[in-house]
Amino acid sequence: MSLTMDDPCVFVTTKQDWMSDQEVRWCPGCGDYGILTAVQTLLVELGTAPHNTVVISGIGCSSRFPYYMNTYGMHSIHGRAPAIASGVAISRPDLDVWVITGDGDALSIGGNHLIHALRRNVNLNIVMFNNRIYGLTKGQYSPTSEQGKITKSSPAGSLDYPFNPLSVALGAEGSFVARTRATDRKHMLEVLRAAHAHRGASFVEIYQNCAVFNDGAFDDLTGRATRDEMMIDFRQGEQVRFGANGQHVVVSDRDGGLRIAEATEVADEDIVVHDAHRRDPSVAFALGRLSDNDHSPTPFGVFRDVERADYGTLVADQLEQVTRDKGRGSMAALARSNGTWFVN
């Protein structure tokens, strides 16, 4: 690893610089391998350095990630990675902080931590691997498993209605919300690159296959024979079209919702033009709700990307202000207020 001659803040690294000496041990065929490679590839491209990077995870198959990265990191407590990472990001705004989590870790025991990290807009890159199953604990249904899912913990079929992770993130006022898939490295890199460039909390859901306990969960979407008709890849400023020839489009309904139509049946001006920078998240929310199952066209890309002051900056500004202020609300006044005792 070396510095470039032109800019001392840009590091020249190789993928090997980001690889730890630990043997990568996921099940054969696991989608986690592709995500690990994508992140390591991206970090080389970004010109950052391992000693300026922190990877924090909770509990789950995805949460083995810090072991395989030659960075600072922590395999933390189940569901609490966003809370721990928030402390790191706020106290050390110079660091590049990544949260690696799974659908069970993030949306079950960790749901409260996730929504508040997004609400506060802490400067974190939150990457959620979604395989719609608990893999590490051997195949129980998760918060994203479909209703009727037969698992070890739901032998008669799950009764729970699944979370839509994008709806959760957008409902928490996430300033950057995206979805990609582990089977498409180019798309993953595009989305993760945009997430990293965003100042504030970025949330990226990655559809990832569990070859052992939920194999083929996304085959109807990402399979070679169906993907043209099932994956809606949209980009900023472009009409939302999909299909081998762009023959399917997304249009606005009279009630404000979105629906899929044939391009030949609607006026060109009625086709939705994607705007991730729109401050009102309603259209992004509707786009994320186009599909609620694995058997209908599903959107992928950056749903929302808006500027909002990140929490760490707000905390630093407030500390600076109260340190200068000698009156009400200052740190000195607070420390010397009523309700303090001397203990001998």
Q: Would you give per-residue pLDDT tens digits along the chain (344 residues)? A: 555 445 557 899 999 999 999 999 999 999 999 999 999 999 999 999 999 999 999 999 999 999 999 999 999 999 999 999 999 999 999 999 999 999 999 999 999 999 999 999 999 999 999 999 999 999 999 999 999 999 999 999 999 999 999 999 999 999 999 999 999 999 999 999 999 999 999 999 999 999 999 999 999 998 888 999 999 999 999 999 999 999 999 999 888 789 999 999 999 999 999 999 999 999 999 999 998 777 889 999 999 999 999 999 999 998 888 877 765 566 666 666 777 677 87
Cα–Cα distance, 58 to 106 (Å, whole number):
8
Report pLDDT digits (tens) over 112-154: 999 999 999 999 999 999 999 999 999 999 999 999 999 999 9
Give the amino acid at 318: Q
Instruction: Kindly give, in sequence order, each residue whose CB lies less than 8 Å from that of residue 138, ignoring residues fewer than 6 positions away.
Output: 152, 213
Beta-bridge partner residues of 318: none
Report, at the CATH architecture level, how domain 2-238+276-314 is classified. Answer: 3-Layer(aba) Sandwich (3.40)
pLDDT, residue 332, reads 67
Q: Which residues contact 310 (CB under 8 A, 6 or more apart)?
A: 121, 122, 123, 199, 200, 201
Look at residue 328 in the predicted model and tell me its pLDDT: 58
How far apart (Å, rounded) are the C-alpha atoms in residues 143 and 104? 6
> Phi first, then psi: what are they for 38, rounded to 5°?
-65, -45
Q: Provide the residue ranges of all domains of the chain, joining segments of one domain with +.
A: 2-238+276-314, 239-273
By the 8 A CB rule, do 312 and 319 touch? no
CB 26 within 8 A of CB 64: yes
Predicted local distance difference test score (pLDDT) of residue 5: 42
User: The tokens 């008669």 sit on which residue?
Assistant: 156
Burial 231-255 (b: 16+ CB within 10 A, else e): bbbbeeeebbbbbeeeebbbbeeee
